[in-house]
Structure 1
Amino acid sequence: MNTPTFTQPTTPESCFGVIAEHAQSLGFSYCTFGLRLPLPITQPRTVYYSNYPQAWQARYHEAGYLEVDPTVHHGMRSSTPIVWSDAVFAEVPQLWEEAQSHGLRHGWAQSRRDPEGIFSMLVLARTDPPIDADELAANEQRMQWLVHWAHTTMKAVCDDTGMKPQSVVLSPREIEVLRWTAEGKTASEIATILDVSERTVNFHVNSVVAKLDASNKTNAAVRAALLGLIW
């Protein structure tokens, strides 16, 4: 497969413009791309771009379809591509009927989650014709490339605009302490496991709490896990 060449985007908007151009070259009139950062936990920062019909975008938001969209649920659990079908939308027939009424009848979606905990999802859609196995086989490499390119490039331009949080570096001992904290161990128990003093454990806990801008050690462990810092 030949890698496409083009001017590297410098903004989220120009990045989505390139995504839309490639979607068009693959035979899809519509596309949508979303990227979600792992923090803040309750209201993670997101970027979302779509060239779906405006009426459908408004209806999708108004009806809260994001919460019940089976393709989104699938993407959160698996990075395996999914093709729209009656079976996929069987439990949300109203969403499916309305989407088709707006010309969104055939689609393909795939998500990606990187080691930093950053999640993205690309959806390609069109009115006709249906997506068949031959088309998927012929375009698989290009579609996979686009999923990867969209994720890494959008993440990079978000970093350039200050949206992406600064990287946090933890020491090996801090990671060890956080791992055991995430397992529910107390400072005393961790001290015994690591054969260090409880004071030393608390020193490392306080350090990671400060580095991760966390409210306590539990919050620090959750943030570290979401950021891919402990595994």
Structure 2
Amino acid sequence: MLQDRVIVDFIIQLQSCTTAQQSYCRYAETLGGFGINESIYAILLGDSDYIAFSDYRQNFLEAYEDAGGAEADATVFWSQQRNTPLVWNDPINKRMELPEKFHKVEQISADFDIQYGFTLPIHTGVEGFWGSCGLSASGIKKQAFLQDVLPFKDLLIAISTIFDMHVRQVSGNHILEQSTVSTLEALTPMEIETLKWLAEGYSIKQISDEKLHRSIDSVNIYIRNAKKKLNARTRDQLIAKALILRLIP
């Protein structure tokens, strides 16, 4: 399956990245394979410090700052208030009336043909430590975005989640490093054992019959509980988080 292969390959590649900058370069390269040609990762570390990486065009960044920057950016406001991904120019979101203070940044983005993409909020569980990933399919038309990029939304979210967790671990910021595990409820030995076999490619039935000798319902419960504890939306995200956090070998 494409998604599984991409995630495993990305995790392997990140393991050789010892700095946040190296990790971002690998992340941006991976995003490019799925139509995302400009991106930004930014996370506040309390009141005055931050980590930020971007490959947006310099002239756009300058115009963005002149238009008010992050304080006038509706996607930043979204990330502060919500924990769900935002699809830019989604018809549902377009029906929401934007306050006037956001209009300049919206217009600048349109002028640079930055109209279709995603905002992925980051909430670390530590007060004052939050941010987002902005993923742009710049220069693309609506139909191409719907056909060629949007279908990979879940994969892009999974890749971004893995990248964020890795950056936290290599950031050099002790609080941020600990934030990947300090807010997580510990997995039980049986949940860890289940994730180990999932990561090795065994089906739920094989894990039930050959590995744990428990019912399929029990195996599904272990997976469901582990998802909740690790804040994973999908099984791929669950395995990726467990690998990044070194919960399984």
TM (norm. structure 2) is 0.57
Q: Do the aligned residues in 1 keep the contact of 2:42 with 2:50 (CA within 8 Å)?
A: yes
1:154 aligns with 2:154: no
2:108 pairs, out of 72, 93, 98, with: 98
Q: Following the alignment from structure 2 to structure 1, what is the Cα–Cα distance between the partners of residues 97 and 30?
A: 26
Kindly report which structure 2 residues correspond to 1:115-194, keeping only aligned pairs within 5 A, or say none.
115-117=125-127, 118-125=129-136, 126-130=138-142, 131-132=145-146, 135-136=149-150, 138-159=151-172, 162=173, 164=175
Change (3 A) 1:50 1:61: same
Paired residue secondary structure (1:122): strand
Paired residue secondary structure (2:170): helix
- What is the deviation of 1:100? 1.9
Deviation per CA, 1:43-70, whole angstroms, max 9, x where unpaired?
2421111111101111222332210211
TM (norm. structure 1) is 0.61
AA of the residue aligned to 1:67: E
1:65 aligns with 2:43: no
1:27 aligns with 2:35: yes
Return 5+ residue gaps in structure 2 as ranges. Answer: 180-249
Q: Do the aligned residues in 1 keep the contact of 2:24 with 2:53 (CA within 8 Å)?
A: yes
Q: Do the aligned residues in 1 keep the contact of 2:169 with 2:176 (CA within 8 Å)?
A: no
1:10 aligns with 2:18: yes
Change (3 A) 1:165 1:140: closer
The root-mean-square deviation of aligned C-alpha atoms, in Å, is 2.7
1:49 pairs, out of 41, 53, 70, with: 53
AA of the residue aligned to 1:71: T
Q: Following the alignment from structure 1 to structure 2, what is the Cα–Cα distance between the partners of residues 140 and 107?
A: 9
User: Whose Rg is larger?
Assistant: 1
AA of the residue aligned to 1:82: L
Paired residue secondary structure (1:132): helix
Larger % of helix: which? 2
Q: Following the alignment from structure 2 to structure 1, what is the Cα–Cα distance between the partners of residues 160 and 149?
A: 17
Q: Do the aligned residues in 1 keep the contact of 2:68 with 2:105 (CA within 8 Å)?
A: no
Identity rate, percent: 16
